[in-house]
Amino acid sequence: MKYLILLAAATCLSACAAAPPEGPEEYGATIGIVNHTDKYIYATEVGTSGGGHAARYSAGIANVCCVVVPVKWHAGLRMNVQWDMPEGSEHVWKEKMVEVKKYDEPGSVYLHFFDNDEIRIVVTDWIGGAPEHPIPPPVKPLVNDPPMRYDSAGKNKSSLALSAATQGSVPKR
């Protein structure tokens, strides 16, 4: 009888030691697209989840559901991204494995598309155009911007020439 009580106590204590985790290890995150290019993105996919589309130089909100993401970031976290960036009327699908930037809190998944098929993925609660978003929003170049010219020291000669050219035309106070 003494051994039976000891066995029962040991069983109860071992059950407490194997408590389940406190919360889920993964969650379903909404997907947002931020396009830093001059090309339209017709469609995207992250893993097996659709991610929507994006106009040129646009930062959208994360309104497409969902891609499964770990609650806690870990080294080596990558996602397979597919996107269709048409050339004229022809669809051009591309694919790339992309590392997810380190995040501390769960949030929405934002795909940032840059020139030369560079993609960055961030997890955040801030919408794509917010100043607090981890990557600044896209900036559409002005149509009449002169080409940038730099000297050997890396100084922008265009702005120096522009300021010298307009110095006489700016009224002094």
How many whole angstroms separate alpha carbon 61 and alpha carbon 63?
A: 6
pLDDT at 167 over 60: no
147 is written with which tokens?
Answer: 């080409």
CATH topology classification for 26-124: Immunoglobulin-like (2.60.40)
Angle at 141 between CA 98 and CA 139, to 5 degrees: 45
At 128, phi and psi to the nearest 5?
Answer: -55, -30
All structural domains of the chain with their residue ranges? 26-124
User: Is 28:49 a contact under the CB 8 Å cutoff?
Assistant: no
Q: 28-59 as b/e, with b when 16 or more CB fall inside 10 Å?
A: ebbbbbbbbbebebebbbbeebebbbbeebbb
pLDDT in tens, 60-91: 888 888 899 999 999 999 999 999 999 999 99
* More confident site: 22 or 1: 22
Identify the bridge partners of residue 54 per DSSP, sorted by sequence position.
41
**Could you read off the pLDDT of 30-49 as tens digits, one per residue?**
999 999 999 999 999 998 88
